[in-house]
Amino acid sequence: MTKRPNQAPAPPMTRPSFLRGIVGIWYRHALALTRVWKVATTWFVIEPACVLLAMGLGVGRLIGTLPTHGEYASFVTPGMIVGMAMYHAIFECSWGAFQRIQSHSVETLLTTPIGIVQLAAGEILWGATRSALSTIAVGGLALGLGWLDPSAFPGVLLVSMLVGVEFGAIGLCFAATAQTTSTLSLIFTIVATPLFFFSGSFFPMEILPRALQIAAWIAPLSPGVHLARGFATHDLHTTHLAAAVYLVLLGAASFPVAVWLLRRKLLR
Amino acid sequence: MAEIRVEKLVKRFGTVRAIDGLSFEVASGETFGLLGPNGAGKTTTMRVLSGLSPVDSGEVSIAGIDALRDPRAVRCVVGVVTQQDGLDDDLNVRQNLEVFGFLAGLSLRVARRHTREVLDFFGLASRSEDAIDELSGGMKRRLAIARALMIQPRAVILDEPTTGLDPHSRNRVWEELAQLKARGVTILMSTHYMDEAATLCDRIAILDRGRILALDPPLELIEKHTRGDVQELRVTTASHSSVRAELERAGIRWREVGAVFRLNREADPAAVRSIAGTRSEVRRANLEDVFLNLTGRELRDE
Ligand SMILES: Nc1ncnc2c1ncn2[C@@H]1O[C@H](COP(=O)(O)OP(=O)(O)O)[C@@H](O)[C@H]1O
Ligand SMILES: [Mg+2]
């Protein structure tokens, strides 16, 4: 600490910018990740690689080519990538944030000049960053295997990040409302897992019964899968535009809810 | 000039009035203590002042800032140490401070410099690369205080800075707070240790059920609210029930605290000494006695 004369405190610090809070939260997460990068590599690479290889090489070998969607491995790849992106964002923003709320380290962040909006935005930005890292890892593998076209990669990456924002915000809602880890785990059993399997990642939605099809199209992961597949196959229509709008809307609508719930939880 | 001014603050949780019409002022450079038992409203008060809790009514001004309107501006100039250490287990000691400084608006370069300075001040420089769970409880607490100093605050708000610490760590914290005070930093702290309040604070507000019962310098509190001495009866060989019977017969009122009977102010010394199997002691009254006399309850009662 710099010495200053008694009774003459330094002039008030200038207030940090709005962005500073968001970037600061993001920086905290980036530091935390680099401290455990060896373990983190397994989350990003080994687990998704297993799923991708099992589906592409295993199931893909059995199925070969789908009547309307081409080679199965290429069909399943964008769905897997987006599904993994969802898992990473949910994990970070529900489980991770919940733990840090319980341990009071989130309260500490709020003793800096940041507000709840910046806290939420920083958390979600980090969730989306993890989604992007996952996509770089899984997508990289798929590129190597020839299941994803390099020119499709930027589009798929962008979709992953939007999915990360959306599920980051949804994850925060759960983190802010769960009372215990067992209620928190509902986000995996009632949200993530059903979405992962019924959002058109593994099979075309057309083969579902009519009623289920509608539900599957509305499901919040579906627009991401549809859009990523559009990029992967270089076959984009108005349905993809609709999916993009829906995806952005889901993220934009979840954010204020997450902020409201976090405020209720943390500023009592 | 008042660094902190609290006026007619009211805060309810449902039907509980956690803060019930609180008013006080802390002068610049003063160390001010909120002394009260668990549930008195100390944490709630400090959270309100830090902008972490909305109020039902009242006014708070800190460093000339309307703290209820602009809590974030307050946190630019006031360091806050919450009741829980709230350290980030995923970061090491140095990173905990650097991230905090960065969030508070320091550049990374300045944050690193301040980190070195506060770690030096707290004698934690050799632990800077350690993980949080390698630290002792006392070190964690002191790191939490160090964190609040990253912004070189003009005032700090500390919620029970030494609760749960061993005597050695407590003493270190006391010394460090005394040094802060010597630098002119205004300190608002809460505690339920009367010795801590008496040692550190220029003035103490005795808080119970969200209200201030008395507010004065420690010695004046004792002068005003006790008779200066307290007569106690320590049980040696007698049974507690026989002592109770004897006291009752002598018409003396008392209060039992463990093995000690604290006697009512007017107890006749001769009558007290005649009770067999006990030893009568007279000691200086302290802040616990002030609290007892004001509320009829012990400071340690829940
Ligand atoms: N989040 C909360 N919800 C409901 N009641 C609360 C909450 N926090 C504190 N209280 C109540 O407010 C009162 C004051 O609590 P607190 O400020 O924590 O006291 P202290 O810090 O002096 O122990 C207590 O009656 C407590 O039960
Ligand atoms: Mg408390």
Count Cβ atoms below 10 Å from residue B274 Cβ, excluding itself: 12
Q: Is the separation of the CB atoms in B278 and B249 below 8 Å?
A: no
Residues of A with CB under 8 A from a CB of B: 1-10, 12-17, 20-21, 24-25, 27-28, 31-32, 35-36, 100, 103-115, 266-268
The answer to whether residue B274 scores a pLDDT higher than 90 is: no
Q: Give B39 Cα–ligand 1 centroid separation in angstroms.
A: 5
Q: How confident is the model at residue B239 (pLDDT cuts 50, 70, 90)?
A: confident
Question: Of the candidates A14, A32, A111, which has its C-beta nearest B50's C-beta?
Answer: A111
Instruction: Read off the pLDDT of each residue in B36-48 and give the average, rounded to a whole number.
Output: 96
Q: How far apart are CA B210 and CA B16, in angstroms?
A: 10
The answer to whether residue B16 scores a pLDDT higher than 90 is: yes
Does B90 contact A4 at a Cβ distance shorter than 8 Å?
Answer: no
For the stretch B113-144, what's the b/e string if a residue is b when 16 or more beta carbons lie within 10 angstroms of its beta carbon?
A: ebbebbbebbebeebbeeebeebeebbbbbbb
| pLDDT reported for residue B1 | 77
**Among all residues of chain A, which has the CA nearest to that of B186?**
A7
The answer to whether residue A76 scores a pLDDT higher than 70 is: yes
Q: How far apart are CA A96 and CA A174, in angstroms?
A: 11
pLDDT in tens, B155-177: 999 999 999 999 999 999 999 99
Q: Percent of chain A having pLDDT more than 90?
A: 78
Q: How confident is the model at residue B78 (pLDDT cuts 50, 70, 90)?
A: very high
pLDDT in tens, A158-201: 999 999 999 999 999 999 999 999 999 999 999 999 999 999 99
Q: In what order do the strands lie in the sheet with B278-284?
A: B254-257, B260-263, B229-235, B278-284
Burial class (CB in 10 A: 0-12, 13-18, 19+), A104: middle
Does A104 contact B84 at a Cβ distance shorter than 8 Å?
Answer: yes
Q: Give B44 Cα–ligand 1 centroid separation in angstroms.
A: 6
Instruction: Read off the pLDDT of each residue in B205-225 and give the average, rounded to a whole number.
Output: 96
Q: What is chain B written as a DSSP string?
A: -EEEEEEEEEEEETTEEEEEEEEEEEETT-EEEEE--TTSSHHHHHHHHTTSS--SEEEEEETTEETTT-HHHHHHHEEEE-SS----TTSBHHHHHHHHHHHTT--HHHHHHHHHHHHHHTT-GGGTTSBGGGS-HHHHHHHHHHHHGGG--SEEEEESTTTT--HHHHHHHHHHHHHHHHTT-EEEEEES-HHHHHHH-SEEEEEETTEEEEEE-HHHHHHHHS-SEEEEEEESSS-HHHHHHHHHHHT--EEEETTEEEEPTT--HHHHHTSTTEEEEEEE--HHHHHHHHHSS-TT--
Residue nearest to atom 12 of ligand 1 (CA): B18
Closest CA to B147 of B76, B67, B87, B73: B87
| pLDDT reported for residue A8 | 43
| pLDDT reported for residue A13 | 60
The lowest-confidence range among A35-49, B142-156, B165-179 is A35-49
Q: Is the separation of the CB atoms in B123 and B131 below 8 Å?
A: no
Instruction: Read off the pLDDT of each residue in A245-268 and give the average, rounded to a whole number.
Output: 98
Q: Which amino acid is at B23?
A: S
| pLDDT reported for residue B15 | 94
| pLDDT reported for residue A7 | 40
Instruction: Read off the pLDDT of each residue in B266-271 and give the average, rounded to a whole number.
Output: 76
The lowest-confidence range among A157-171, A253-267, B256-270 is B256-270
Pick the atom of ligand 1 nearest to B38's CA.
Answer: 23
The lowest-confidence range among A54-58, B57-61, B101-105, B268-272 is B268-272
pLDDT in tens, A123-139: 999 999 999 999 999 99
List CB contacts (< 8 A) between B13 and chain A: 268
- In this predicted complex, what is the ipTM? 0.92
Q: Is the separation of the CB atoms in A93 and A124 below 8 Å?
A: yes
| pLDDT reported for residue A3 | 43
Q: Percent of chain A having pLDDT more than 70?
A: 95
| pLDDT reported for residue B275 | 81
Q: How confident is the model at residue A1 (pLDDT cuts 50, 70, 90)?
A: very low
pLDDT in tens, B113-142: 999 999 999 999 999 999 999 999 999 999
Question: Of the candidates A10, A16, A36, which has its C-beta nearest B104's C-beta?
Answer: A16
**Among all residues of chain B, which has the CA nearest to that of A24?**
B103
Residue nearest to atom 7 of ligand 1 (CA): B13
Return the sign of the alpha-carbon dihedral for residues A202, A205, A207, A209: positive
Average per-residue pLDDT for chain B = 93
Helix pair angle (A153-177, A72-90), 10° resolution: 40
Q: How confident is the model at residue A62 (pLDDT cuts 50, 70, 90)?
A: confident
Average per-residue pLDDT for chain A = 92
| pLDDT reported for residue B301 | 59
Question: Of the candidates B76, B100, B121, which has its C-beta nearest A12's C-beta?
Answer: B76
- Pick the ligand that lies closest to the CA of residue B41: 1
Count Cβ atoms below 10 Å from residue A244 Cβ, excluding itself: 19
The lowest-confidence range among A230-234, B224-228, B277-281 is B277-281
Comparison of pLDDT for A192 and B1, the residue scoring more: A192
Ligand 1 pocket at CB < 6 A: A 268; B 13, 16, 18, 36, 38-44
Comparison of pLDDT for B298 and A234, the residue scoring more: A234
pLDDT in tens, A2-11: 444 444 444 5
Closest CA to B46 of B90, B95, B82, B8: B82
Pick the atom of ligand 1 nearest to B40's CA.
Answer: 22
| pLDDT reported for residue B95 | 98
Residue positions counted in chain A: 268
Q: Percent of chain B having pLDDT more than 90?
A: 73
The answer to whether residue A254 scores a pLDDT higher than 50 is: yes
| pLDDT reported for residue A144 | 94
The answer to whether residue B56 scores a pLDDT higher than 70 is: yes
| pLDDT reported for residue B47 | 98
How many angstroms separate the CA of residue B251 from the nearest CA in chain A?
50
Question: Of the candidates B77, B86, B92, which has its C-beta nearest A104's C-beta?
Answer: B86
Comparison of pLDDT for B66 and A58, the residue scoring more: B66
